[in-house]
């Protein structure tokens, strides 16, 4: 069976690194992006250069209509998705909760949680033996913020990642008998440009000496964990989490 992977929000950072690594593992790669077409096409070019197969798909993964259309296009181009990485997400400017408004909170929940729910729903309908599928694997990109709460910076983001953790556990139990494994990674202190969205591009360098390993992480280190969870090497793992935080 051909392996087809969809990685949401994969034009940059962890998603882009995961797309490149998946291509080396023989996956047909579906690179999803919201706005940055140029970055997505760059990833496609890099995958093509190493002999892989990839297509970029523009879609707002927090829109039920656009997600349904996205999966239909992948069905047409590559066949049904066998691996899904729910990586879409946003981070807003550092703030205390009492300085946030409800519009911000809803934006974060919509992008970070609803997108995961909608994409997982479509993936299950294709992977599950209950629907005639042949199984598959889902990895959700959570954050260590789900455990720490990220006080004085991003409690809204932390709350959204806590929801991802709960979804991971619940869905893993729902579909464990239907050939689908659902796991998650909880990265933190990774060198990606998401920190600029929070208003502090150099955040990792500021705090790296408080990390037991005394350094920040690289997107490739998260991608390695994601691909392991998707692989047959993790065949007895579901509803589990890998924290990628340098020991903090």
**Domain 4-244 homologous superfamily, CATH:** NAD(P)-binding Rossmann-like Domain (3.40.50.720)
Q: Where are the domains of the chain?
A: 4-244
Average pLDDT of span 60-77:
98
Give the dihedral of Cα atoms 21, 190, 85, 144; nearest 10 deg: 150
User: How does residue 203 score in pLDDT terms, banded at 50, 70 and 90?
Assistant: confident
Beta bridge partners of 241: 184
Q: Is the dihedral of CA 55, 58, 62, 63 positive or negative?
A: negative
Active-site residues, by number, are 157
| Model confidence at 194: pLDDT above 80 | no
Q: Which residues contact 163 (CB under 8 A, 6 or more apart)?
A: 109, 112, 113
Q: Are 189 and 216 in contact (CB under 8 A)?
A: yes
In this prediction the pTM is: 0.96
Tokens for 37?
């077409």
Q: Are strands 53-58 and 83-86 parallel, antiparallel or unpaired?
A: unpaired
**Each residue's pLDDT tens digit, 91-136:** 999 999 999 999 999 999 999 999 999 999 999 999 999 999 999 9
Inform me whether the pLDDT recorded for 197 exceeds 90.
no
């Amino acid at each position: 069976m051909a392996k087809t992977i969809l990685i949401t929000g994969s034009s940059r950072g962890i998603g882009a690194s995961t797309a490149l690594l998946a291509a080396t593992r023989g996956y047909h790669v579906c690179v999803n992006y919201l706005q940055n077409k140029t970055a997505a096409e760059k990833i496609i070019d890099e995958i093509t250069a190493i002999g892989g197969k990839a297509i970029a798909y523009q879609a707002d993964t927090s829109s039920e209509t656009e997600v349904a259309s996205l999966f239909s296009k992948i069905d047409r181009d590559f066949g049904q998705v066998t691996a899904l990485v729910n990586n879409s997400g946003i981070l807003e400017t550092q703030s205390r909760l009492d300085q946030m408004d409800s519009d911000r909170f809803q934006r974060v929940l919509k992008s970070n949680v609803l997108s995961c729910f909608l994409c997982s729903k479509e993936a299950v309908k294709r992977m599950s033996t209950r629907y005639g599928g042949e199984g598959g694997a889902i990895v959700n990109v959570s954050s260590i913020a789900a455990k720490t709460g990220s006080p004085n910076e991003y409690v809204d983001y932390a709350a959204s990642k806590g929801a991802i953790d709960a979804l991971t556990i619940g869905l893993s139990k729902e579909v464990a008998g239907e050939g689908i494994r659902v796991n998650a990674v909880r990265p933190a202190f990774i060198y990606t440009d998401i920190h600029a969205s929070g208003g502090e591009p150099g955040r990792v360098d500021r705090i790296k000496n408080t990390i037991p390993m005394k350094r920040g992480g690289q997107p490739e280190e998260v991608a390695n964990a994601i691909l392991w969870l998707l692989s047959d090497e993790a065949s007895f793992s579901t509803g589990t989490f890998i924290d990628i935080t340098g020991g903090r």
